[in-house]
Amino acid sequence: MKLPISGRCLCGAISYEISKQPKRTGFCYCRSCQIKSGSDHVAYLAVEIESINISGAIKWYQSIGDSGKTKQHGFCPECGSVLFGKPKLWPLIFVV
pLDDT value for 88: 83
pTM more than 0.85: yes
Which region, left, alpha or beta, applies to residue 65 given φ > 0 means left and ψ of -120 to 50 means alpha?
beta
| Tens of pLDDT, residue by residue, the chain (96 residues) | 899 999 999 999 999 999 999 999 999 898 888 888 889 999 999 999 999 999 999 999 998 887 888 889 999 999 999 999 998 888 899 999
Quote the DSSP letter at residue 78: T
Cα(27)–Cα(91) distance, rounded to whole angstroms?
A: 18
pLDDT value for 9: 98
Cα(8)–Cα(14) distance, rounded to whole angstroms?
A: 6
The neighbouring-strand residues paired with 86 are: 72
Helix (H, G, I), strand (E, B) or coil at 31: helix
